[in-house]
Amino acid sequence: MGQTPSWSQACQCELRFTLITPFTDLLCPLDSQPLGVSDGSWRCPSGHSFDVSRRGYVNLLAVQNKRSRDPGDSREMVAARARFLKAGHYRPLAAAVARNVLGSTPLVDPLTCIDAGCGEGYYLRELATAAGASRPLTLGGVDISKWAVQEAARQDRRAAWMVASNARLPVAGKSVDRLLCLFGFPVFAEFARVLKPTGELLLAEAGPSHLQELREVIYPTLKQKSTAVHSTHAGFYLRAEETVRFQVLLQGNAVIADLLAMTPHMHRAPPEGRAAALALTELQVTVDVRLQQLVINSPR
C-alpha cells in the first residue's frame, strides 16, 4: 500500500512546473471528520481509510449515497463524451466557463475550484490551461460515476479526482472559491455548505435551442422548451448570467453517435428516432447554454 501513487505525490513533482495543486481539504464520507493523507491513503481520526487507486483517484462514495451498483454515467457514455469533447466541439463553452471562474479574481490569488459532476474532467483541464502559468489553482473533481472519474484521472493527475455524490460532497465547509455544476445535478444546500462566503457557484443548463437540430431528428414532435429563466435557487442569488450560443458542424456518423450517447436523449428517444440520428453523416447543431453565476444569499 505504501507504494500506491497518490495524486499528491504526483503533484509534488509537477508543482515545480505548474501552479495547479490538488484539492486536499477533504472530509470522511462516513463521519465527516477531516481526512489526512499518508502512504497513498486518506484517513480520518476514527481510522476510516480510503486508498488512492493506482489510477489516481479516490472513492469517497458512502454506500447510503449509492442508489445503484454502478451509479452515474456508464462507461460507454463517458467514452463518448471524452471523444466528443476532446475534438473541441464545446471549446467556446469551456472558454466561457474559464472566463467566469477566473474573471473577477486578481492575478495572484490562489483559487480553489471544485467541479461537482465533473464527468471526464474536460472543463477543469480547460480551466487549468486558461489559467496559464501565472494563476495558482487548487482543483478537485467529483462525480458519482467511477468511469467518469477514472477517465478524468487518466487524462490529468493535477486535480484531486473523487468518486462521490453531490448530495454529500466529501469537501470541508467554506473551503471552495468556485463551484462548477455543468449540465449536472445541483444540490443547493450542499453547495452552500462548501462555498466560502465570498464563493461563487457556476451553473450551466441547456437553453431552449440546445441541440435543437438533433432533437428534431429524434422526436416526432418537439416540446417547446421553457424559456423561463430560473434565477432563484434555494440559498443563492443570481449575480450574473450569460447565454453561450454557437453552431457546431458535425461531420461523420461516429461523432453524431457520440453526441447522442453523451446526452439523455440516447435513453429517452424512440427507437426510430435514435436510428434516424445514427444514420446521419452530417449535422449542424446549435449549442445553447445558460451560464449562471450564483452567490450565497447573505443578509446585508
Ligand X SMILES: C[S@@+](CC[C@H](N)C(=O)[O-])C[C@H]1O[C@@H](n2cnc3c(N)ncnc32)[C@H](O)[C@@H]1O
Residue 148 binds ligand X (CB under 6 A)? yes
Please tell me the distance from the alpha carbon of residue 187 to that of residue 206, in angstroms, as a whole number: 17
270 to each of 221, 224, 275, how far by Cα in Å? 12, 18, 9
Listed residue (98, 140, 96, 138) closest to 115, CA to CA: 140
Strand-pairing partners, residue 202, are: 180, 293
* Interface segment toward Zn ion; rule CB under 5 A; list 30-38, 90-98, 101-109, 217-225: 30-38
Choose which of 14, 18, 48, 209 interacts with Zn ion (CB under 5 A).
48
Nearer to ligand X, 1 or 63 (CB): 63
Which residues 154-173 are close enough to bind ligand X by CB under 6 A?
A: 165-167
Residue 30 binds Zn ion (CB under 5 A)? yes
Distance of CA 254 to the CA centre of its chain: 24
Annotate 226-243 with b (16+ C-beta within 10 A) or e (fewer).
Answer: eeeeeeebeebeeeeeee
Residue 143 binds ligand X (CB under 6 A)? yes
Which residues 54-83 are close enough to bind ligand X by CB under 6 A?
A: 72-73, 81
Q: Which does 31 bind (CB under 5 to 8 A by kind): Zn ion, ligand X, none?
A: Zn ion
Q: Which does 117 bind (CB under 5 to 8 A by kind): Zn ion, ligand X, none?
A: ligand X
Residue 144 binds ligand X (CB under 6 A)? yes
SS3 153: helix
Residue 240 binds Zn ion (CB under 5 A)? no
Spatial contact of 37 and 6, defined as CB atoms under 8 Å apart: yes
Q: Which does 30 bind (CB under 5 to 8 A by kind): ligand X, Zn ion, none?
A: Zn ion
Amino acid at 243: T
Question: Applying CB under 6 A, what is the total number of residues that bind ligand X?
Answer: 19
Residue 27 binds Zn ion (CB under 5 A)? no
Which residues 240-299 are close enough to bind ligand X by CB under 6 A?
A: none
Q: Which does 165 bind (CB under 5 to 8 A by kind): ligand X, Zn ion, none?
A: ligand X
Q: What are phi and psi of 98, to 5 degrees?
A: -60, -40
Q: Which sign does the torsion angle of CA 179, 181, 187, 188 carry?
A: positive
Residue 185 binds ligand X (CB under 6 A)? yes
Residues engaged in binding ligand X (CB under 6 A): 72-73, 81, 117-119, 122, 142-145, 148, 165-167, 182-185
